[in-house]
Amino acid sequence: MPNFKLDDREIPFEPGETIIRAAQKAGIDIPHYCWHAGLSVAANCRMCLVEILPPPGRPAMLLDILAWDADKQEYLPQKKPKLVPSCQQAAADGMVVKSQTSEHVDVARAAVQELLLLNHPVDCPICDQAGECRLQDYWLEHQGTKKRMRDEPVHKPKAVVFGPTIVYDAERCILCTRCVRVSEELAKDPVLSVRERGNLGEIVVAPGRQLDHPYTLMTEYVCPVGALTSIDFRFKARVWFLRSTRTVCTGCATGCNSFSDFDPRNQKVYRYRPRENLAVNKFWMCDDGMLDHRRIHEGRVLEARIAGAAAAVPTALAKAAELLAKADPSSTAVVLSAEHSNEDNFALLSLAKAFGISDVYQSARPAGQGDDILRHPDKNPNTAGVAALGKASGLKTFVEFVEAIRGGKARTVIALGSATPTGGGAAALSDVKNLIAISTHEGPFVERASVVLPASSWAEADGTFVNAKGMSQESEKAVTPQGSSKPAFRLLAELAALAGKPFAWKKLAELRAAMAPAAPRSVPPESASLGAE
Partner 1 sequence: MAETTIGFEPPALVLAGAIEHPLTDITSYRAVGGYAQLERARAMSPHDVTDQLIQSNLRGRGGAFFPTGRKASFIPTPDKVAKPIYLTVNADESEPGTFKDREIMRRVPHRLIEGCLIAAHAIQSKHVFIYIRGEYSTEYDVLAAALEEARGAGLLGDVELTIHRGAGAYICGEETALLESLEGKRGQPRSKPPFPAIQGLYASPTLINNVETITNVPKVLELGPQEYAQIGAPPDSTGTRVFCLSGNVVRPGAYETPHGITVRHLIEDIGGGIANGRTLKAVMVGGSSFPVMTPDELDTKLDADSLGERGLFIGSGVITAIDDQACIVQFALRVAQFYMHESCGKCTPCRVGTRWLVQILRAVEDGSASENDLEVLLDVCDRIIGKCLCVLGDSAAMPVASCVTKFRDEFRAHLEHGGCPFGEDSSLAHLFAPVDQHAQVTA
Q: Which residues bind partner 1 (CB under 8 A)?
A: 41-47, 49, 63-68, 74-75, 77, 80, 82-83, 85, 88, 107-108, 111-112, 114-116, 118-119, 148-152, 154-156, 174-175, 193-194, 196-201
Would you say 375 and 214 are in contact if contact means Cβ atoms under 8 Å apart? Answer: yes
- Minimum separation from the CB atom of position 88 to partner 1 (A): 5
85 versus 385: smaller Cβ distance to partner 1: 85
Return d(Cα 336, Cα 80) in angstroms, integer: 68
184 versus 403: smaller Cβ distance to partner 1: 184
- Minimum separation from the CB atom of position 43 to partner 1 (A): 4
- Minimum separation from the CB atom of position 34 to partner 1 (A): 9
Compute the half-sphere exposure of residue 155: CA atoms within 13 Å on the CB side of its CA.
2
Angle value at C-alpha 472, between 467 and 475, nearest 5 degrees: 90
Strand duo 412-416 + 332-337: pairing: parallel
- Minimum separation from the CB atom of position 95 to partner 1 (A): 15
Give which of 270, 295, 285 is closest to 533, Cα–Cα: 285
194 versus 312: smaller Cβ distance to partner 1: 194
Would you say 18 and 87 are in contact if contact means Cβ atoms under 8 Å apart? Answer: yes
Assign 25 to helix, strand or coil.
helix
Strand duo 84-85 + 96-98: pairing: unpaired
- Minimum separation from the CB atom of position 125 to partner 1 (A): 24
Please state the φ and ψ torsions of residue 101, each to the nearest 5 degrees. Answer: -100, 10
Return d(Cα 499, Cα 357) in angstroms, integer: 14
112 versus 311: smaller Cβ distance to partner 1: 112
Angle value at C-alpha 365, between 305 and 412, nearest 5 degrees: 45
414: β partners = 334, 436
Buried b (16+ CB within 10 A) or exposed e, 185-213: ebbebebbeeeeeeeebbbbbeeeeebeb
Would you say 104 and 81 are in contact if contact means Cβ atoms under 8 Å apart? Answer: yes
172 versus 477: smaller Cβ distance to partner 1: 172
- Minimum separation from the CB atom of position 48 to partner 1 (A): 11
Angle value at C-alpha 335, between 332 and 338, nearest 5 degrees: 170
43 versus 395: smaller Cβ distance to partner 1: 43
Assign 42 to helix, strand or coil.
coil
H-assigned helices in 76-102: none
107 versus 497: smaller Cβ distance to partner 1: 107
- Minimum separation from the CB atom of position 221 to partner 1 (A): 22
- Minimum separation from the CB atom of position 59 to partner 1 (A): 16
90 versus 395: smaller Cβ distance to partner 1: 90
108 versus 478: smaller Cβ distance to partner 1: 108
89 versus 412: smaller Cβ distance to partner 1: 89
- Minimum separation from the CB atom of position 378 to partner 1 (A): 38
- Minimum separation from the CB atom of position 200 to partner 1 (A): 6
- Minimum separation from the CB atom of position 372 to partner 1 (A): 24
152 versus 298: smaller Cβ distance to partner 1: 152
Would you say 94 and 4 are in contact if contact means Cβ atoms under 8 Å apart? Answer: yes
**What is the helix (H) or strand (E) element at residue 318, kind and residue range?**
helix 313-326
89 versus 216: smaller Cβ distance to partner 1: 89
- 241: exposed, middle or buried (C-beta count within 10 Å: 0-12, 13-18, 19+)? middle
- Minimum separation from the CB atom of position 157 to partner 1 (A): 9
DSSP string, 102-162: -HHHHHHHHHHHHHHHHT----GGG-TTTTS-HHHHHIIIII-------SPPPP---SEE-
68 versus 101: smaller Cβ distance to partner 1: 68
Three-state secondary structure readout of 165-183 = CEEECCCCCCCCCHHHHHH
Angle value at C-alpha 177, between 86 and 15, nearest 5 degrees: 30
- Minimum separation from the CB atom of position 80 to partner 1 (A): 7
Return d(Cα 1, Cα 12) in angstroms, integer: 6
